[in-house]
Amino acid sequence: MSEQSSPPTALYPAIEPYRSGTLPVDDIHTLYWEECGNPQGVPVLFLHGGPGAGLSPKHRQFFDPAHYRIVLFDQRGAGQSTPLGEVRNNTLPLLIEDIERIRAMLGIAQWLVFGGSWGSTLSLAYGQAHPERCTGFVLRGIFLCTPAEIDWFLNGIRWFFPEEHARFVAPVPEAERGDLLAGYRRQLFSDDPAHNLHAARTWGRYEGSTIHLIPDPQVEEQFASAAVGLGVGRLEAHYFHHGAFLSEDQLVRNVDRIRHLPAVIVQGRYDMLCPPLSAWRLHQAWPEATFTMIPDAGHGAFEPGITSALVAATNRFRDEGTL
């Protein structure tokens, strides 16, 4: 394990997609996808967090656009994919199938897989299901979706963010606070759209307020918006309730399926959403992976130390092919 101490590496300049579109995957869901960078470049897949958080234009900027063919998409129920916040036909195996559909549609044989937070969960699950399609991994803010991690999000964060947690709990009737996830699910999936929107925005604000080492009010407001809150609130509650459709400690137990592939793990020391123990456990199972702990960062991908480590990782894959 190393702690980041090299000179900072900045994001690449903002770019626009050279191609984008939509892909219907069943009679409910239609996915938004885009390609950026070099059409003849080395393919890289970006997987966003949440579940339900969706894409940001800044996500394109982790990669050298002259070298990489950058593929990004909004997962089911997220971002520009429709319908927003939809949990029907929304499972981890189906998300993995979606990735394969997009890969086949674009004619890509293999790609580097890049994901943070829930994106790390999906990256690991996809890689373990289809190791032959992956050339390596860049993973940030590791989330294994274990019961302990889910309980930390719902209850443990209050030890560090008591005011934010109090606001999170407030909409749930006192009699239901012994099981916050069940209480929230009753509200998030109620028949009253105004009621479930309020619950979703409260959930989103809670997450947005705890992402960074130094709180960022702009990010908090973004997560509290209807566009992000509906996706994050409803999908996270859905996936938490189902344990992300994973068996017990599946992502650690199955690391041997991808251990032969190069990987970089980047973790913020003071990550309150996805505490470092999960990244440490993953690295213990995958000692060949490069593990960088950022000493002055929380969870956010755009905190300076984390951004620098992620861009440095994609540059190393560019320069060395493997690590």
Distance CA 303, CA 294 (A): 10
Instruction: Name the residue type at position 119.
Output: G
In Å, the largest CA–CA distance within the chain is 58
Phi, psi of 76 (to 5 degrees): -50, 130
Half-sphere exposure of 309 (CA within 13 A, CB side): 30
Known catalytic residues are 117, 271, 299
| SS3 annotation, the chain | CEECCCCCCCCCCCCCCCEEEEEECCCCCEEEEEEEECCCCEEEEEECCCCCCCCCHHHHHHCCCCCEEEEEECCCCCCCCECCCCCCCCCHHHHHHHHHHHHHHHCCCCEEEEEECHHHHHHHHHHHHCHHHEEEEEEECCCCCCHHHHHHHHCHHHHCCHHHHHHHHCCCCHHHHHHHHHHHHHHHCCCCHHHHHHHHHHHHHHHHHCCCCCCCHHHHHHHHCHHHHHHHHHHHHHHHHCHHHCCCCHHHHCHHHCCCCCEEEEEECCCCCCCHHHHHHHHHHCCCCEEEEECCCCCCCCCHHHHHHHHHHHHHHHHHCCC
Instruction: Name the residue type at position 46.
Output: F
Half-sphere exposure of 256 (CA within 13 A, CB side): 1
Residue 298: alpha-carbon gap to chain centroid: 15
Instruction: Name the residue type at position 167.
Output: R
